[in-house]
Structure 1
Amino acid sequence: MDQLRIDVDFPSPDAASQVGLLHKEIVGKAMIYKLSEAVEEGDGANFVKVLKQQCEENKLRLSDVFDKVTLAGHSLLHVAADMGQKSIVQVLCDLFPLLLIRRNVRGDTPLHVAARSKKYETVKLILSQYATKKSTYDEMKDKKIARETNECGNTPLHEAVYSGDVDVVKEIFDQDKAVAYCLNKSKRSPLCLAVVNGNEQILELLLQIPLPADQPLSQCRRSSPLHTAVQHKKKVMIQAIIEIRPELVYLRDEDGNTPLHYAADIGYVDEFRILLKKSLQNKLDQTALERNKKGRLPVHLACKRGCVEMVKEFFEPGSGWPINPYVLLNQKGQNILHIAAKNGRDNVVEYLLGNCNTDDLHINQKDYDGNTSLHLASKNLFPQVIKLITEDNRTDLNLTNEDGLTAGDISKTFKHPMLRRRELDFFHEVIKKSWSPCKSHVAFSTPTTA
């Protein structure tokens, strides 16, 4: 194609590479209708003809024409990229390459727009043109077009993953694979977005690149696709990630939680089993025995959330679990029965009391404040839990905490201003039945109504 014989006066670098036009900056820059119409027609030769006519008729320099934008702040290259008009994109890149880094009001470059619009051939052309022309212009030399972010912090790869076009994703990914771990302002990487969107093909493509070699696993936590897959209960995604990148099983989030912690916290039983099995396969590095920053193990979270099916995984024969769960205390010195009791998880309490691995030592064990599980159930007003524990003949009702109080003492003096009268009466009725004088292991009187 013949080059236009027009003197080109390039604008300043600041005008070309601004971080996104403000709406007030659009005033007086309205795009010439005939040019946008020529872009829509998609004929490169005709576009050049119209461009020359408009420059002559309106006495505009070429740079003035390219400075004009739509109400959305789109340059001519944005418009051409959005419509997938390859021949126009080629002309614009030849005439005014700095349009490649021009931004609209959302901070989008033309590559963002093409990726969002699923224009594979246009994406490919823009990347090619940028690679060819970037060394010629100081404004482009230090930029990596695939890493440019818009106002949401999205790279073009983020936008491509959002759109779900595998070809577009692959083209941008091949240009700069490390972008797969770049975080947007919502702290999501393109890899995590692929998980959320449920696109297996894109996920497998992006998993080809390992975690950044210059960063330990702990520093990659926010871009972990496995945590995201567990959080969103994407079973197929979880299995794909474990198969392709098994090292992600050991990755922690900012609070020290592994994917196994996540599964326990949301009660995701099936994938909890898969992750637990994966952990137990490696006797030297068991994530099931790793605490988060609050000192909690996955089994602690399972008890706290009342997921008895998960708790069973640590007791059932053949589970491969190497340690008695009762020796795994939290930072307050509480065992798993303490945790279940203080959170009112009567289903877990009932299972633990009926399990052959639970003895009177575990039932009557004190935490660092001297509280047994019965003390904690009484403090937190969980009558069903109190009933289960007091009806167990192994329970010692005479034990006192560091304040010198038995569980019965706590219930007698307990007052809760927010508790409705009917609920309080029900609570004391349960206490009365649970601690009736006919029980041989009861050593105190029935509590009075507070």
Structure 2
Amino acid sequence: MDINIDGNSRDHMAGSMIDRKLYQCVRQHNIDEYFKTLVQRPLAEKLVTPCGNTLLHLAASYGTDEVIAYLTEEFPSLITTTNSQQDTVLHLAAREGMACTAIKDLVKSEPSLTRKTNTKGNTPLHDAVIKGNKEFAVFLASKDPVVAYYNNKNGRSPLYLAVENGNKNGILDDLLKSIKREDGDAPPKGKSPVHAAIEQRDIGILKKIGEAMPELLRLTDEEMGNSLHYASSIGFLEGVQFLLDKFHNGAYGRNPEGNYPIHLACKSHSVRVVKEYLKEFPYPKEFLNKKGQNILHVAAESGKGNVISYILKQDAKLVEPLLNEMDEDGNTPLHLAAGYGKSVAAFVLVRDKRVDSSAVNNENLTPYDLAEQQSKSAEEKFDKANEMDGQHHSKDVEYGLKNSTAENSTDSTSSQRKDKAFDLKRDTKKSSPKHEGLINYFGMVTTLSILYIYSRPKKSLSWHFTVTPGLIISQAKEESKNRIGNLLVVAVLVAGVTFAGAVQLPQLRDNNYSSEHHPESNSTITASRYSSYENHLFQRSWFSWLLS
């Protein structure tokens, strides 16, 4: 909510500069004949500092009552004049911590000043809160309470900033007392102060807001949904418990993506938050997002194996309606874990005997089929990213190694196939496409390995040990030997890859998380952090054999 009031803004450099003598007079609260001589019409209205502050701006910043009173009476046009940053005299008074009598009288005589915004979209109340100017902030809020909800260009209101600043100087407490809203008032828009308290995981401030202005608990953020959505998404247990008590209906609201708070709880790593929801709502099958997905769907898609394990241990009447349900695309939770390369989630689900691993989705694909399809796609994407990375490297470094194009050429046809089942989205802003492809590749190869063991269409043991009719004895022995060898290779390699995936993937996740906080380290990430070159070649050969 950006409200601006037209003022007498001007080209400040066209005015005359305020000299040292006038500065001293303002600073010393000195209004004598000498000062009045220096300040003559029409010169006074054009006198400015390099950044466009008028004499009244200076007087406001120094809190000189006498000078402010004299200038506002003699030169009223200065009251609404702004500097180069569109600051009024109230902005400077708010930032400098000056709440002198003359300034307060100015607010009373010119109330529109409280809503005037500068180039940052801040009102004087914004600046007072940011600077911790408690006295002036409370005064402004008492004179024009609605301004406490005005959003600056960053979408932050003074009330939000008071929470974000951790109730600096107790400003939040006083604001909550000063800005009581009347029944029927339209709810404020923009970033909710409740969301700010949740972001800081400050249950104390959250309770203060709930006690003083419980209606704020119901505010909805355009991106994050209501307060329960946000608290659930970050796994803030105390916040969820408090909000379920004070804002119970929030659990029945969907966020912009179509998810209920219980879905977001299952996307987080907090089993305790999920437990809280299941205790309050022991009928999770009733909560379907706009894609028709239940809580197991979203947990599987997000790869939250710990959450899935907890849900599967609950009462059978609660769990069984979730296990094999299909979303609007016909995907079961196992389909989603398989298609998104969530190996731990796939492992937990596929080992549960109640899960139907042979179910087909709308594309007539089983979870194994989908994992196989997505694995090929992941390999193609990694090959392409690797080739592009090699081309870039060769341009920058003359002696750079050239990437082999043998595998890429053989897969050129399959790389053009469109993947209709999934569009795996990756945030490539944090790392290079090559490293993103490597992460995706490891996830898919581990998931496919798990499903290969547990849900691949089985061949009978007689197939493995029966010799093809018509072969001579020596050839029959060789064929049997190869099949037995293959079985041993599968047993050893799958176990190794599964273990490596369980260890490496969480590390990759942690590396990505830390890179969000240290973006400058992204440029130094190399493939050696994930695996050695030799180990990578070994896994690639195993993966190619698995897909054959």
TM-score by length of 1: 0.81
Aligned to 2:141: 173
* Aligned equivalents of 1:116, 1:370: Cα separation in 2: 59
- Aligned pairs for 1:185-204 within 5 A: 185-199=153-167, 201-204=170-173
Residues 439 and 273 of structure 1, relative CA distance in 2, 3 Å threshold: farther
Match in the other structure for 2:246? 278
Partner in structure 1 of residue 446 of structure 2: 426
Report what 1:389 is aligned to: 349
CA distance in 1, matches of 2:54, 2:90: 12
Partners of 1:164 and 1:118 lie apart in 2 by 8
Give how far 1:262 is off.
Answer: 0.9
Aligned counterparts of 2:267 and 2:108: Cα–Cα separation in 1: 55
Calculate percent identity across the aligned residue pairs: 33
CA pair 422-116 structure 1, distance change in 2 beyond 3 A: closer
**Correspondences of 1:40-79 after superposition (within 5 Å):** 40-44=27-31, 46=32, 49-54=33-38, 61-79=40-58
Aligned counterparts of 1:147 and 1:430: Cα–Cα separation in 2: 62
User: Of the candidates 239, 257, 262, which is equivalent to residue 294 of structure 1?
Assistant: 257
1:113 to 77, 80, 92: 92
What amino acid is the match of 2:449? E
Contact 2:343 2:443 in 1 (8 A): no
Match of 1:137 in 2: none
Alpha-carbon separation, structure 1, partners of 2:328 and 2:369: 19
The reply on whether 1:343 has 2:302 as its aligned counterpart is yes
Taking the aligned partners of 1:210 and 1:327, their CA distance within structure 2 comes to: 38
Q: Secondary structure at the match of 1:164?
A: coil
How far did 1:179 drift? 1.5
Q: CA deviation at 1:211?
A: 4.0
Mapped contact 1:164–1:199 kept (Cα < 8 A): no
1:32 corresponding residue in structure 2: 19
Counterparts of 1:288 and 1:439 in 2: how far apart (Å)? Answer: 48
Q: Which amino acid aligns with 2:180?
A: P
Q: Is the 8 A contact 1:383 1:431 kept in 2?
A: no
Q: Residue 81 of structure 1: SS of its match in structure 2?
A: helix
Q: Distance in 2 between matches of 1:242 and 1:277?
A: 11
Structure 2 letter corresponding to 1:17? G
| More off after superposition, 412-421 vs 147-156 | 412-421
For 2:77, the equivalent position in structure 1 comes to 98
Q: How does 1:286-325 map to 2 (within 5 A)?
A: 286-316=249-279, 321-325=280-284
Decide whether the 8 Å contact of 1:344 with 1:385 is kept in 2. yes
* 1:210 partnered with 2:180: yes
Q: Which piece of structure 1 moves more, 424-433 or 152-161?
A: 424-433
Structure 1 contact 390–435 (Cα < 8 Å) conserved:
yes
Alignment of 1:237 with 2:205, yes or no, is yes
| Greater Cα offset, 81-90 or 352-361 | 352-361
Aligned length: 398
1:326 Cα offset (Å): 2.3
- Measured in 2, the distance between the counterparts of 1:51 and 1:215 equals 49
> Do 1:77 and 1:89's aligned partners in 2 also have CA atoms closer than 8 Å?
yes
Question: Cα distance 1:425–1:380, how it changes in 2: closer, same or farther (>3 A)?
Answer: closer
Distance 1:196 1:423, change over 3 A: closer
Deviations 1:378-399 (A, max 9, x none): 1111122111111111112222
Give per-residue Cα distances to partners, 1:346-384, cap 9 Å, x unaligned.
111111111225433321111122211111111111122
> For structure 2, which runs of at least 5 residues remain unmatched after alignment?
1-5, 383-436, 461-486, 491-544
Q: Residue 312 of structure 1: CA displacement?
A: 0.9
Q: Deviations over 1:152-207 (max 9, x none)?
A: 12111111111112211122222222211222222221111111111263212222
**Aligned-pair Cα RMSD in Å:** 2.7
If the length of structure 2 is used for normalisation, what is the TM-score?
0.67
Contact map agreement 2:223 2:256 (CA 8 A) in 1: yes
Opposite residue 228 of structure 1, the aligned amino acid is A
Work out the CA distance in 2 between the residues paired with 1:37 and 1:353: 76
Question: What amino acid does structure 1 have at the position aligned with 2:7?
Answer: S
SS state at 2:310 partner: helix
User: Aligned pair 1:250/2:250, yes or no?
Assistant: no
Check the 8 A contact 1:115/1:168 in 2, yes or no. Answer: yes
Q: CA deviation at 1:28?
A: 4.8
Inter-partner Cα distance in structure 2 for 1:256 and 1:71:
43
Please state how far the C-alpha of 1:120 moved relative to its aligned partner: 1.9
What's the CA shift for 1:437? Answer: 8.3
Correspondence for 1:404: 364
Q: Indicate conservation of the 8 Å contact 1:195/1:234, yes or no.
A: no
Q: Indicate if the aligned counterparts of 2:15 and 2:46 stay in contact, CA closer than 8 A.
A: no
Q: 1:339 to 1:52 in 2, by over 3 A?
A: closer
187-196 vs 301-310, which moves further: 301-310
Residue 146 of structure 1 contacts residue 155 of structure 1 at CA under 8 Å; is this kept in 2? yes
Deviation at 1:254, TM superposition (A): 2.4
2:59 to 80, 86, 89: 80
Task: Evaluate the alpha carbon distance shift between residue 89 and residue 313 of structure 1 in structure 2; reply closer, same or farther with a 3 A threshold.
Answer: same
1:436 Cα deviation from its structure 2 partner:
7.3
Asked whether the equivalents of residues 340 and 444 of structure 2 are also in contact (C-alpha less than 8 Å), the reply is no
- Which ranges in structure 1 are unaligned for 5 or more consecutive residues? 1-15, 56-60, 135-142, 281-285
What corresponds to 2:526 in structure 1? none
Contact 1:178 / 1:212 at 8 angstroms: preserved in 2? no
Measure, in 2, the Cα distance between the counterparts of 1:130 and 1:291: 43
Is the partner of 1:291 in helix, strand or coil? coil
Q: 1:439 to 1:86 in 2, by over 3 A?
A: farther
- What does residue 4 of structure 1 align with? none
Aligned to 2:455: 435
Residues 335 and 78 of structure 1: is their aligned pair in 2 closer, same or farther, counting only changes over 3 Å? same
CA offset at residue 306 of structure 1? 3.1
Structure 1 pair 400–172 and aligned structure 2 pair: CA distance change class (3 A): same
More helix by share: 2
Q: Is the 8 A contact 1:40 1:85 kept in 2?
A: yes
1:373 maps to what in 2?
333
